[in-house]
Amino acid sequence: MASLSEIAKLLGGALSGEDLFITGISTPDEQLPGTICVLANEKATDKLSGAAAAYIAPSGFKEYNEKPLIRVADTRLSFAKLLEFFFPEKVKPAYISHKASISDSAVLGDNVTVDDFAVIGDGTVIGAGSHIYSGAVIGGNVKIGERCHIYPNVTVYDNVKIGGGARLHAGVVIGGDGFGYVPGAVHTKIPHCGDVVIGDDVEIGANSAVDRATVNSTIIGSGTKIDNLVQIGHNVHIGKGCFIVAQCAIGGSAVIGDYVIIGGQVGIRDHVRVGSYSNIAAQSGLGDDIPERSDYGGSPAVPLKEWGKQIAGLKRLSDLRKRLTALEKTK
Amino acid sequence: MASLSEIAKLLGGALSGEDLFITGISTPDEQLPGTICVLANEKATDKLSGAAAAYIAPSGFKEYNEKPLIRVADTRLSFAKLLEFFFPEKVKPAYISHKASISDSAVLGDNVTVDDFAVIGDGTVIGAGSHIYSGAVIGGNVKIGERCHIYPNVTVYDNVKIGGGARLHAGVVIGGDGFGYVPGAVHTKIPHCGDVVIGDDVEIGANSAVDRATVNSTIIGSGTKIDNLVQIGHNVHIGKGCFIVAQCAIGGSAVIGDYVIIGGQVGIRDHVRVGSYSNIAAQSGLGDDIPERSDYGGSPAVPLKEWGKQIAGLKRLSDLRKRLTALEKTK
Amino acid sequence: MASLSEIAKLLGGALSGEDLFITGISTPDEQLPGTICVLANEKATDKLSGAAAAYIAPSGFKEYNEKPLIRVADTRLSFAKLLEFFFPEKVKPAYISHKASISDSAVLGDNVTVDDFAVIGDGTVIGAGSHIYSGAVIGGNVKIGERCHIYPNVTVYDNVKIGGGARLHAGVVIGGDGFGYVPGAVHTKIPHCGDVVIGDDVEIGANSAVDRATVNSTIIGSGTKIDNLVQIGHNVHIGKGCFIVAQCAIGGSAVIGDYVIIGGQVGIRDHVRVGSYSNIAAQSGLGDDIPERSDYGGSPAVPLKEWGKQIAGLKRLSDLRKRLTALEKTK
């Protein structure tokens, strides 16, 4: 429960209309009475007829006087701030469950929480304020930074390093062996003796997997966000601030720059290099290196404009054939 | 072991031929002596030469007198009934393992089974007859209906609601945070303060993930069946009776109607609306809304007929080029 | 630390240049001083300017005298052997954690290790030297061979059989119910009463899932290697020595021959038969049977040469249209 003037102040926005009290947040498609609804952009005027008591909209939003409206510079950031305001994170006092299994040689920082049936291996170091949830299994000689959330049933193999502020969602696996064999009548396994190094503030979605390197490291840069069910191969290097959407697969030894955005279900071949600030459309298959600031789409992937032409061309193929047949008949 | 007349009665079918005793069921491709084999349709006449002692076939099946045959209205339903008959589910007496960790404030219905190292959080309610398997971690304030199977190593985050008769296979994750950030030099996480609401008789395959909503709910309707390794984004609404095949990814806030069938490895963009009774072919990429009873295929997806034409056109592209070149030469 | 002559002997290779002592292995892209670097093929001459102290190269490698070089018959095998040499597997003494839960009727071979919070069900047999890691849940009546690694948080349902030397990485699920229903207003579940049979020396990557059969068995042949996040449907039969790359999905009752290579994110329709020694390119969608030694690509998949033509044709579509338009104008 908060007044609209209080919310406007929180968001650095400008309130027009009555200073109501509102009870919560709702989304444009599911507006509830008494709540404030965040309109993402200036085109969302059709959502103004919903049940919400007030709206938040971008500063350039159209003239509107029916209900109270707060104009803000960044609607998405405002949405995030509002969520934090209405749903403050419950901080439970730290505790170590006596049902967890923690090696005598593990080192836990201040205010670390370890839930039931979590396992922490020999020589592993857990940073202050981190939370290891139930059923998470952390191997030996692992380093986990401060304020991390290692959710239930996560597995971290030996020797992995994870920075501060990381969130590994349930079922994530870090440091399993990569897919490497010497093929033959009997395939010989290539041992994976390297590790995985994850930077600060990395979030990895449920049931994703990051393989360990053969030698040296598989690297995920700080601030990179990875969605659910993503596969990161051995010796992959991912830069800072990337977004990798659900069910992508990045082949072994691929090198992804900084601030790259990879859509859902994309496949990237092993050893491919993707320049920083590039965008790869969902379901693409990337088999070759691409430079910085490239936009690619399709399978096999081509520059986005080219891909648009291919799609348009495909749609007009039967038209093309008809025209050709007509031409043939005129001869 | 059962007589064919007994089986014909169970299935409401008509037996022709000798009333043998048979020892089990086999599939058309792996027929074993002494068993009965279910032929799915009228075309499967080439399977009659197998080792099975008797066959089940649809009522319109061809004249056949070599071995006993039971004609039934629905062969698939008969297959299901036979499996239940020959392999009755073993019901073990309910028990609560003293090696599980169950909050004092959790409420367990009658005949609930909780296996070793399962965790049940504060204020969580488990309906009568449900079974929480080893290593499953159920958060706080969760509601699970009656007769559910929550298989090993499943994770259910806080505040999730699951109806009666649900089966969550091993490794399923319900209620992890969605993939939502305000992009910037440092990406700001959008808190996920909503929940997940799953209807009755929903089955979710191994290692699938369903994200929680930002606000309000991610919803899966009653009777919907989801295969393995499927990704359901935050705030998605799925209707009743849908089939979602393995490795699909449904983007945030997408709305899927009732009785939609989504083939394997399909990707659906966030915010897309799929009308009820629609079918989407495997590996499609759906980026736009489609109305009720639509059949779509391809990436990007187009109406199925259109897709068929695109594929046919692609196959004849080099032919098209040759014809064009020939025409150019005649000038 | 080892001398180059010692390494040459280990690999059966020929050393040219000084017999230095080297401290470890590095990869071509991340060469470290004091290490030996393995060059995969004869074209990798641009890597000779790196920081490594010595190189390993194929026997036909160019004349090179700047640094010591060991010529070997098989560089990949040499890489594997070197990794084993420099990183010998640490064999811990076997032990059974008193925090594990092992049925009284389970039978454990010699030198089996069972970690904390692992569960082993009734009547299950674990072969000598196998290691069941923390949080792994092994059902009842399971047979696991000798020298297996069942990594953390793996789930093996009842009645599964696994050969010797298997490695199931973290989060793998073996034996969940397949995706089978009799569709209707209410979908009827087809019980899955069969099992899963996995041969010897099979490796399965993190969070992959193998469904149990309706009747009979889902089968994975000896020596087959499966990457992360792969889906294997019910009643699938996979032969020996296959490679199945990350995020593939193989539909129910498909039959895959021996030594088939399936690229990443491939989908194979249920009931499809793939002949031995076939290769399927990444992201393909295979809907029809293919004979032995087939190379296929695309979605829907066609012979690889055909696929190459389709891709080339797509790229020249707009050119085709321009030529046609020009021709139309000349009339």
Phi, psi of A84 (to 5 degrees): -65, -35
With an 8 Å Cβ cutoff, are C186 and B229 in contact? no
Q: Phi and psi for A230 in degrees, rounded to 5? A: -95, 145
**pLDDT attached to residue B228:** 98
Nearest-Cα distance to chain C for A201, in Å, is 23
Interval C198-241: pLDDT, tens: 999 999 999 999 999 999 999 999 999 999 999 999 999 999 99
Task: Name the closest residue on chain C to residue A313, using Cα atoms.
Answer: C317
- Out of B223, B315, B327, name the one closest to residue C186 (CB): B223
Q: What is the residue extent of each domain of chain C?
A: 2-86, 101-307
Determine the residue of chain B that is closest to A81 in CA distance. B190
pLDDT at res. C165? 98
Q: Which residues of C touch B76 (CB under 8 A)?
A: 182, 190
Check whether C321 has a pLDDT greater than 90.
Answer: no
**Are residues B299 and A283, on separate chains, in Cβ contact within 8 Å?**
yes
Question: Domain C2-86 belongs to what architecture?
Answer: 3-Layer(aba) Sandwich (3.40)
pTM, to two decimals: 0.96
Tokens coding B10: 């169970």
Query: Is the minimum CB–CB distance between B122 and chain A shorter than 8 Å?
Result: no
Nearest-CA neighbor of C194 among C160, C168, C224, C166?
C160
A309–chain C Cβ distance below 8 A for any pair: yes
Residue pLDDT, tens place only, B67-88 = 999 999 999 999 999 999 999 8
- Which of the 8 DSSP states describes residue B53? S
Neighbours of B53 (CB within 10 A): 21
> Is some CB atom of chain C closer than 8 A to the CB atom of A251?
yes
The answer to whether C265 touches C279, Cβ cutoff 8 Å, is no
Beta bridge partners of C27: C30
Question: Average pLDDT of C301-321?
Answer: 93
Q: How far is C102 from chain B (nearest CA, A)?
A: 10
Tokens describing residue A249: 């697969």
Test B137 with A170 for CB contact under 8 angstroms: yes
Q: Could B207 and C209 be called an inter-chain contact, meaning their C-beta atoms sit closer than 8 Å?
A: yes
User: B92 falls in which pLDDT band (50, 70, 90)?
Assistant: confident
Q: ipTM for the complex?
A: 0.95
Cis preceding-peptide flag for A300 (omega within 30 of 0): yes
Distance of CA B301 to the CA centre of its chain: 22
Annotated catalytic residue, options C131, C169, C192, C234? C234
A25 touches chain C (CB under 8 A): no
pLDDT at residue A190, rounded to an integer: 95
The encoded tokens of residue B299 equal 């990436």
In this complex, do C155 and B170 lie within 8 Å of one another by their Cβ atoms?
Answer: yes
Sole residue written with tokens 């930002």: B214
Residue B245 structure tokens: 């095949």
Chain B closest-CA separation from residue A135 CA (Å):
7
Question: What distances in angstroms separate CA A169 from CA A150, A174, A227, B110, B176, one per listed residue?
Answer: 7, 11, 9, 32, 7
Residue C331 predicted with pLDDT over 70: no
Instruction: Judge: B246–C233 Cβ closer than 8 Å, yes or no.
Output: yes
Q: How many CB pairs under 8 A join B and C?
A: 177
User: Does the beta carbon of A151 lie under 8 angstroms from any beta carbon of chain C?
Assistant: no
- Using the beta-carbon criterion (under 8 Å), do A247 and B231 form an inter-chain contact? yes
Whether A87 sits inside 8 A of B310 (CB atoms) is no
Q: Does the CB of B207 have a partner CB in chain A at under 8 Å?
A: yes
Contact C313 B328 (CB under 8 A): no
C168 and C154 Cβ atoms separated by less than 8 Å? yes
| CA gap C213, C183 in Å, rounded | 19
Mean pLDDT of chain C: 96
Q: What are phi and psi of B328, to 5 degrees?
A: -60, -35
**What is the distance in angstroms between the Cα of C325 and the nearest Cα belonging to chain B?**
11
Residue C164 amino acid letter: G
Q: Average pLDDT over chain A, rounded to whole?
A: 96
A215 touches chain C (CB under 8 A): yes
Q: Are C160 and C142 in contact (CB under 8 A)?
A: yes
Helix H, strand E, coil C: the string for chain A is: CEEHHHHHHHHCCEEECCCCEECEEEECCECCCCEEEECCCCCHHHHHHCCCCEEEEECCCCCCCCCCEEEECCHHHHHHHHHHHHCCCCCCCCCECCCCEECCCCEECCCCEECCCCEECCCCEECCCCEECCCCEECCCCEECCCCEECCCCEECCCCEECCCCEECCCCEEEECCCCEECCCCCEECCCCCEEEECCCCEECCCCEEECCCCCEEEECCCCEECCCCEECCCCEECCCCEECCCCEECCCCEECCCCEECCCCEECCCCEECCCCEECCCCEECCCECCCCEEECCCCEEHHHHHHHHHHHHCHHHHHHHHHHHHHCC
B79, B85, B117: best mutation site toward chain C, by most C Cβ within 10 Å?
A: B117
Q: For C275-302, what is the mean pLDDT?
A: 98
Task: Please provide the DSSP assignment of B107-138 as one string.
Answer: EE-TT-EE-TT-EE-TT-EE-TT-EE-TT-EE
Best-predicted range by mean pLDDT among A141-150, B39-48, C79-88?
A141-150
pLDDT at A320 over 90: no
Instruction: Render pLDDT for B232-283 as a digit per residue (tens, 0 to 9).
Output: 999 999 999 999 999 999 999 999 999 999 999 999 999 999 999 999 999 9
Q: What would the pLDDT profile of C134-153 be if each residue is shown by its tens digit?
A: 999 999 999 999 999 999 99
Spell out which residues of chain B touch residue C215, defining contact as CB-CB under 8 Å.
24-27, 83
Which of A:30-69 have CB within 8 Å of B? Answer: 30
Alpha carbons B71 and C254: distance in angstroms, whole number: 27
d(CA B258, CA C63): 69
Distance from the Cα of B216 to chain C's closest Cα (Å) equals 27
Category of A23 on φ-ψ map: left (φ > 0), alpha (ψ -120 to 50) or beta: alpha
Query: Do residues A132 and A150 make contact, with C-beta atoms less than 8 angstroms apart?
Result: yes
> How confident is residue B186, by pLDDT bands cut at 50, 70 and 90?
very high
Terminal-residue alpha carbon distance, chain A? 79
Q: How confident is the model at residue B331 (pLDDT cuts 50, 70, 90)?
A: low
Q: Which H or E element spans position C274? A: strand C273-274
What pLDDT score was predicted for residue A144? 98
How much of chain B, in percent, has pLDDT values that exceed 90?
88
The answer as to CATH 2.40.110.10 being correct for domain B101-307 is: no
pLDDT average, residue stretch B318-329: 87
C307–A contact, CB cutoff 8 A: no
CB C165 within 8 A of CB C201: yes
Segment among B317-326, C72-81, C178-187 with least mean pLDDT: B317-326
**pLDDT for A1:** 84
Alpha carbon of residue B292 to chain centroid: 21
CB contact under 8 A, A216 and C26: yes
Q: Which 3 state secondary structure label does DSSP give C24?
A: strand
| Minimum mean pLDDT range among A59-68, B302-311, B319-328, C75-84 | B319-328
Give yes or no for a contact between C257 and C278, defined as CB atoms under 8 angstroms apart. Answer: yes
For chain A, which chains pass the contact test of at least 3 CB pairs under 8 Å? B, C
**A243 has a pLDDT exceeding 70:** yes
Q: Closest CB to A83: pick one of B157, B215, B309.
A: B215
**Region A215-219 average pLDDT:** 96
Q: pLDDT class for A91, splitting at 50, 70, 90? A: confident
Backbone angles phi, psi at A114, to 5 degrees: -130, 120
pLDDT tens-digit readout, A280-298: 999 999 999 999 999 999 9
